[in-house]
Amino acid sequence: MTAGLRLDGVAIGHAAGEALIRDVDLAIAPGDVVCLMGPNGIGKTTLLRTALGFLPPLAGRVRVDGLDVAGAPAAAIARRIAYVPQSYLGDPGHTVFDVVLMGRTARLGLFAVPDRADQAAAVAAIETMGLADVAGRTTDRISGGQRQLMLIARALAQETRIVVMDEPTSSLDLGNRFALVDRIRAMAAAGHAVLVATHEPEQAFDLGDRAAVLGQDRSFVVGPVDDVLTTARLRRLYRADVALETTPGGRRVVGRAPPAPSSRPDRTPETTP
């Protein structure tokens, strides 16, 4: 596979330290959505940063649309893969439109300024994410959820074929979470390869492609969501007594397992003669 995102035999970590996870093999083709899962501190963000070329792999190769990110110019990588971070602190010096327009930077030549086509791409991305009403506001005057939608709009304006999202629903209300799932599906249908880090198993089931799991034992498993996100694996992964259920509408949900029935025998109240 040349198009899309590919990690072959990758070990992730920081140069001065021990590898967090080894032997990561992952291929995401255009049209695919993979949800990356694992407990806090296991290395999800490190894996994303390695895939984006921000951190070099300790072993193995990372390729984006066939380009080996090792030693590649940052602009060349940014023309192929976009990043949606977990959060963005509001900045009184930039409007929503300004930030989304920054997604065009990788496509501009040295000293070039955005032209009408770049501005049109930014406007289209803003409208897609439902932010037209706040496009002229400074980013310190919008909600955290709107800032998250703005970051996704910036990635759309970048017009790459690969998009990496780090917990994109963390600041969104319920309605916007559902809307984002629909947006991710639409991105895949349009030919994007999408990698989404999430703590929400339901999100992986809703997206319905594959799940990649970083385990407590430093293992890496990837496969169809229903095969990977079993009750046993979720219990080991989060060290919680969870239960998987299917709603009448066919949606898979995760809840807390009911307590086991008491093993103590019922006691019949004594009667006084």
What domains appear along the chain, each with residue ranges and CATH number? 5-80+160-256 (3.40.50.300)
Q: DSSP letter at 262?
A: P
Question: What is residue 216's three-state secondary structure?
Answer: coil
Q: Using CA atoms, how far apart are residues 7 and 2, in angstroms rounded to an integer?
A: 12
Q: DSSP letter at 109?
A: P
Q: What pLDDT score does 242 carry? A: 84
| pTM value > 0.85 | yes
Report residue 158 as tokens.
Answer: 């970048």
Q: DSSP letter at 217?
A: T
Q: Using CA atoms, how far apart are residues 170 and 99, in angstroms rounded to an integer?
A: 20
Q: Are 182 and 205 in contact (CB under 8 A)?
A: no
Q: Using CA atoms, how far apart are residues 253 and 33, in angstroms rounded to an integer?
A: 19
Environment class of 146 (CB within 10 Å of its CB; exposed 0-12, middle 13-18, buried 19+): buried
Q: What pLDDT score does 125 carry? A: 94
Instruction: Per residue of the chain (273 residues), give pLDDT as tens.
Output: 578 999 999 999 887 778 889 999 999 999 999 999 988 888 899 999 999 999 999 999 999 999 999 989 988 999 999 999 987 877 888 999 999 999 998 888 666 788 899 999 999 999 999 999 999 999 999 988 888 899 999 999 999 999 999 988 877 888 888 888 888 898 899 899 999 999 888 889 988 789 999 988 888 999 999 999 998 888 888 888 888 888 888 888 888 887 766 655 555 555 555
Q: What pLDDT score does 156 carry? A: 93
User: Tokens 């309605």 sit at which residue?
Assistant: 175
Q: Using CA atoms, how far apart are residues 79 and 108, in angstroms rounded to an integer?
A: 10
Q: Using CA atoms, how far apart are residues 12 and 81, in angstroms rounded to an integer?
A: 19
Pairing of strands 193-197, 59-64: unpaired
Ranges of beta strands (E only) in the chain are 5-12, 21-28, 33-37, 59-64, 67-68, 81-84, 162-166, 193-197, 210-214, 220-224, 242-246, 252-256
What Rg do the C-alpha atoms of the chain give, in angstroms? 22
Q: What pLDDT score does 89 carry? A: 79
Q: What pLDDT score does 122 carry? A: 95
46, amino acid identity? T
DSSP per-residue string spanning 144-176: HHHHHHHHHHHHHHHT-SEEEEESTTTT--HHH
- Residue 211's Cβ-side half-sphere holds a number of Cα atoms within 13 Å equal to 25
Q: Using CA atoms, how far apart are residues 271 and 262, in angstroms rounded to an integer?
A: 24
Q: What pLDDT score does 266 carry? A: 57
Q: What pLDDT score does 110 carry? A: 64
